[in-house]
Chain A
Amino acid sequence: MSINIRVRLYATLNKYNPRGPNTREFTLEIEPGTNLLKLYEILGIPPEEIKQAFVNGRRVEADYILKDNDEIGIFPPIAGG
């Protein structure tokens, strides 16, 4: 029984959006037990391009195991003022 997640890829990572760069976010069906690192692999994002990910508004590490209805935002290195 697969689970559904919603993913947003920001800045330079948006080019890996499977629905194309003009959609803001996309949903994905994944196997239970999939962690973030595996998700990056599924999406074809080289890990060195990723700085961090937020799940439901909180930063998580790459070993985080995704749950049904999780909302994930993935970022390259970003900073400012």
Chain B
Amino acid sequence: MKYFVRVNMAKGTVEFEEVPEKYKNMGGRWLTSRLVYDEVPATCHPLGPNNKLIFAPGIVTGTSAPCSGRISVGGKSPLTGGIKEANAGTPAAQSLAKMGIKAIIVEGQPKEKDSFFILRLTKDGGSLEPAGDLVGIGLYEFAKRIKEKFGNVDFIATGPTGEKRMAMSGVCFNDKDGRPCRYAGRGGLGAVMGAKGLKAIIIDDTGAPGVNIADQDLFKTGQRKLAEALREHGVTKPGGTLNSYGTAALINVLNEAGGLPTRNFSAGRFEGASKIAGETIAEIIKQRKGSGTTGHPCHPGCIIQCGNVWARPDGSEHVSCLEYESVWALGANCGIDDIDAVAELVWICNDSGLDTIEAGVTLGVAMEAGLIKFGDAQGAINLLKECAKGTPLGHIIGNGAAFTGKAFGVTRVPTVKGQGMPAYEPRAVKGIGVTYMTSTMGADHTAGYTVAPEILAVGGKVDPLVAGGKAELSRNFQATTAFLDSTGYCLFISFAILDIPTGFEGMVETCNGVLGTKWTTDDVISMGKEILKIERAFNEAAGFTKAHDRPPEFMRYEPLPPHNNVYDVPDEELDKVFSEL
């Protein structure tokens, strides 16, 4: 039996509903986007009573499918003003799925502003209770108190910046060791959680029934094929580059390719890149011994295991995890090459409840504005700490790059639909630029990761500096990704399954095995397109037009060294992505 858990924060009620037939085969992003489309008025205020916050594990999450411990969080974004799906890898995803919870739908808000509650979920049901002394503290202290009060449970939480409704705030989940460090970061959904007075969801899956599998044999066949592909591919295999060096191995690749956005997107190469690259991180972790480690999984059952735990010089634990995006945003984009300072900035984001990507892009804009200098690590640390303090400056920074740019009259603001650009410079990687400009999510790299063929020679080889033909490339990636985001699989399986067709077949077979459906590999793109259509329709109703699918103006006229290209994919080409859907 599968349920929707409907939580009404105005009435204080928690109801378990049978899942209506139309949602039966959906999961992850497909389910959150469909529910947002069906239940959220597109013109509502994202922080008001009519927005909803929806959590949905993926279709195969909670089973023994490899790398499937992921959850989607959906709603209307206070950052973009459009539909948002953010995604995290966490044991919490697996627990919810095993408890038969297909989605948690949080609606309404308490009558009394700034009153906060926690939702407790067990196999027997759910209840709301006052959050008490869990409010207004950093998330590391929060995680400690949760362990003391409830033992080894999973949690979903909003940090102090989410309580203060800042649009840079993400939704925090526990990692397999209980750290508050796995985030559905993008788009300010932590602020939506805070606006609904929901401080945390505490999940105890003791005695949970597990995920029902319609066709065990088919599931096992698919699982085997997928696991084989993951174990074969150089990127995903045990001892492969993701396992050994983590995602920050990309720093040197993008730097070499001239597409690593540096100092607020003013150059494509950073002279300090090698000091913050994955190879250096792995080397230092090894040297410092103690609590540091590479090859750290975000959830049990992951074959790839690409995370890390960073140690201080004395070997004591500092922070998990130093990812490519975080290290780029808080490092190269700010002109900071001190990896320990970057680690501290990551820690502040984790503790405050902030999206590391938006934080780094915002700090870059703040540096452009002259608040602090590029490369001033201590200045960046002090500025970022203002957010959780809730000072007026903290509220400006905490509302993201576009808001900060506006406050200080900056024109070099690298955002699309109000969301800060991630770690790939559009003028050097033109296809990812198409994804940034056209995705329903705002500037988003995972939404259609054309970087794979453009820079990494995965899933083909495409010239990143050529402007033509990128609409179709981005569209296909966006559609395939929308489907993958619904399965509960980590997107990194795509590196293996794009190169190894049996792996792709296996992925589809695991879904059919769980659901009893008969999807083919060809169905993946068409189902993905249906998801994108729903999201586009929501955004249109929310007031988005073609004018929102455009690069920031400065990228049209400012050439980016070292290749000295401007962003020259024409508007007509950008419009083809969805006009030819």
Contacts and interface: CB of A to CB of B under 8 A. Distances in A.
B241 A81 contact: no
Nearest to A22: B283
Nearest to B259: A57
A10 B279 CA distance: 8
A8 interface: yes
Contacts of B158: none
Given A11-B241, A58-B465, A81 B257 contact: no
A12 B258 CA distance: 21
A1 interface: no
A75 B252 CA distance: 9
B76 to A, nearest CB: 25
Given A11-B279, A14-B279, A54-B256, A78 B249 contact: yes
Contact of A75 (B248, B253, B562): B253
B383 interface: no
Nearest to B277: A10
B278 A11 contact: yes
B258 A11 contact: no
A54 B252 CA distance: 11
Contact of B247 (A52, A76, A77, A80): A80
A78 to B, nearest CB: 5
B458 interface: yes
Contacts of B247: 80-81
A24 interface: yes
A77 B455 CA distance: 11
Interface in A11-41: 11-12, 14, 24
A57 B279 contact: no
Contacts of B235: 77-79
Interface in A50-66: 51-52, 54, 57-59
Nearest to A51: B457
Contact of A77 (B233, B278, B446, B562): B233
A37 to B, nearest CB: 16
Interface in B219-260: 233-235, 240-242, 244-250, 252-253, 256-258
Nearest to A61: B461
A33 B253 CA distance: 26
Interface residues of A, number: 20
B257 A54 contact: yes
B445 A81 contact: yes
B465 A12 contact: no
B234 A77 contact: yes
B115 interface: no
Interface string B448-485: 01001001111001010100000000000000000000
B331 to A, nearest CB: 15
A47 to B, nearest CB: 13
A69 B77 CA distance: 49
Contact of B495 (A11, A73, A75, A79): A79
B578 interface: no
B491 to A, nearest CB: 7
Q: Which of B256, B324, B463 has the most CB of A within 10 A?
A: B256
B274 interface: yes
A77 B241 contact: yes
Contact of A80 (B233, B250, B465, B562): B250
Contacts of B461: 59
B323 to A, nearest CB: 7
Given A12-B241, A81-B324, 17 more contacts: A8-B252, A10-B256, A14-B279, A51-B457, A52-B457, A57-B258, A58-B257, A58-B465, A59-B455, A76-B241, A77-B234, A77-B241, A78-B245, A78-B250, A79-B250, A79-B452, A80-B306
21 contacts: A8-B252, A11-B241, A14-B279, A24-B274, A51-B457, A52-B456, A54-B256, A57-B256, A57-B563, A58-B465, A59-B457, A59-B463, A77-B234, A77-B241, A78-B249, A79-B235, A79-B456, A79-B458, A80-B249, A81-B247, A81-B446
Q: Which 3 A-B pairs have the closest CB atoms?
A: A80-B247, A77-B234, A73-B256
Interface of B: 233-235, 240-242, 244-250, 252-253, 256-258, 274, 278-279, 306, 323-325, 445-446, 449, 452, 455-458, 461, 463, 465, 491-492, 495, 562-563
